[in-house]
Amino acid sequence: MSFDESFSEADPAVAEAVAAERDRQESTLMMIASENHAPPAVLAAQGTALTNKYAEGYPGERYYAGCQHVDEIEQLAIDRAKELFGADHANVQPHSGTQANMGVYFAVLEPGDRILSLSLSHGGHLSHGHSANFSGNLYDVEQYEVEADTGYIDYDSLAAHAREFDPDMIVSGSSAYPREFEFDRVGAVADEVGAYHLADIAHITGLVATGLHANPVEHADFVTGSTHKTVRSGRGGLILCDEAYTDDVDAAVFPGSQGGPLLHNVAGKAVGFKKALEPEFEEYTRRIVDGATALAETLSGHGVAPVSGGTDKHFVLVDLRESHPDLTGAEAEDALEEAGIVVNKNTVPGETRSPFVTSGIRIGTPALATRGMDTEELETVGELIVRVLDAPDDERTVESVRGAVRDLCEEYPVYDS
């Protein structure tokens, strides 16, 4: 045993599991809409000696000595985030998207204040006020839903709900709403009822950065995001806000709800944001959205219904009830995983099964686009998905799709090109 043993010498069990996970990612299609492959440069930045450094505070105002280099790194991450999203102020310290939302709530709300947000089963997020989350425990939450027949948000009924409930904050943004979020309309409602507007762009950071999804910065007091999803900058969170809220937001993150920042992850964010500012990133995000559109069309061509009839974003939410009434989301998830296509079961509007079973699956394209795939490959993947959904218990079908998936993965490697 010595201090400088290699990873595999020091801990073969963990090292082997990490290698196996890397292999799993390389040899399957990661279609969980919130996942992506971070560029090697981001992984390299994250696995550094920055993990050793304490830097409570913010660049130029730390509680510890020796912060000159981490100050430079965090400032680069802040400046690039501001440029990427056109924001006045950025806080890049939240450890996750949930911590970013906590930071915003703590900045301007008191326990017991009222929040109006999209319900989890209609595409919202736990941190938007679910009873199992701190946000549901601390605040008085009411939720809006999508229309069961169209799958779209009805902004007029959202406005009526807001007038009646008189919330202190309205949260827009989602994890599983396949249509463009009309942040301008939510912003107008928030103005009318005198509420703060928090726009959570966790899933769509990359699409907002390149203008493929409307940018809420103009229409919201606060914008939060995760950095590991479409912007593929490594695991973490982000808060953007107007200059006026800078001190409140910064104080709510540290010391309000976190201790020392994860500077290795802040370095990952800095590197990822730099890459997202490059022209290639725009082309990448276009393939995400075009691929999801091609996937939706392929599926609906086989009668497999995308909720809302299609997608404006990076994933398709499939409602299996018409095409495959006996197949649950959980069963579809299992059969697809056997075939090397990793998706997640998801509730659908008007859901009749439990959240552990569900009648839908959510199928995302960001990781496939990172591998270089485009519309043609997503059409192929759509055909493979339909084959599995049509015969989830047929071993020969599943094996044959698994083979086709392996071939695709070899043709489009992630890290081992």
Ligand X SMILES: *Cc1c(COP(=O)(O)O)cnc(C)c1O
* H runs (alpha helix) in 35-139: 40-46, 68-85, 97-108, 134-138
Give the nearer residue to ligand X in terms of CB position, either 117 or 359. Answer: 117
Binding mask 185-204 for ligand X (x = CB under 6 A): ---------------x-xx-
Q: How far is the CB of 294 from ligand X (least distance, A)?
A: 23
Window 41 to 100, contacts with ligand X (CB under 6 A):
96-98
Specify the pairing of strand 89-91 against strand 360-364.
Answer: unpaired
Give the nearer residue to ligand X in terms of CB position, either 34 or 46. Answer: 34
> Is residue 291 near ligand X by the rule CB under 6 A?
no
Give CA angle at 199 (193, 200), nearest 5°. Answer: 145
Q: How far is the CB of 231 from ligand X (least distance, A)?
A: 12
Strand (E) positions, 173-216?
196-200
Give the nearer residue to ligand X in terms of CB position, either 198 or 294. Answer: 198
Read off φ and ψ for residue 46, nearest 5 degrees.
-70, -35
CA distance 62 to 205: 29
Residue nearest to ligand X (CB): 97
- In one-letter notation, the amino acid at residue 266 is V
222 with 249: CB under 8 angstroms? yes
Window 358 to 397, contacts with ligand X (CB under 6 A):
none
CA distance 90 to 240: 5
Give the nearer residue to ligand X in terms of CB position, either 152 or 412. Answer: 152
Give the nearer residue to ligand X in terms of CB position, either 264 or 321. Answer: 264
Window 210 to 269, contacts with ligand X (CB under 6 A):
226, 237
Q: How far is the CB of 101 from ligand X (least distance, A)?
A: 6
Binding mask 151-170 for ligand X (x = CB under 6 A): --------------------
Q: How far is the CB of 130 from ligand X (least distance, A)?
A: 11
- Taken as a whole, the chain contains a residue count of 417
Q: How far is the CB of 98 from ligand X (least distance, A)?
A: 3
> Is residue 133 near ligand X by the rule CB under 6 A?
no
The three-state secondary structure class of 142 is: strand
Non-local (6+) Cβ contacts of 52 within 8 A are none
78 with 92: CB under 8 angstroms? yes
> Is residue 127 near ligand X by the rule CB under 6 A?
yes
> What is the C-alpha radius of gyration for the chain, rounded to an integer number of angstroms?
22
Give the nearer residue to ligand X in terms of CB position, either 254 or 402. Answer: 254
Spell 320-345 as b/e; 16+ CB within 10 A means b: bbebbeebbbbbbbebbeebbbbbbb
Window 296 to 335, contacts with ligand X (CB under 6 A):
none
Residue 102, burial from CB neighbour count under 10 angstroms (0-12, 13-18, 19+): buried
Q: How far is the CB of 7 from ligand X (least distance, A)?
A: 25
> Is residue 125 near ligand X by the rule CB under 6 A?
yes
Judged by CB under 6 A, which stretch of 172-180, 182-190, 207-215, 312-320 contacts ligand X?
172-180
Question: What one-character-per-residue DSSP string does 280-295 give?
Answer: HHHHHHHHHHHHHHHH
Give the nearer residue to ligand X in terms of CB position, either 203 or 324. Answer: 203
Window 21 to 40, contacts with ligand X (CB under 6 A):
34
| Contact positions vs ligand X (CB under 6 A) | 34, 96-98, 125, 127, 173-175, 200, 202-203, 226, 237
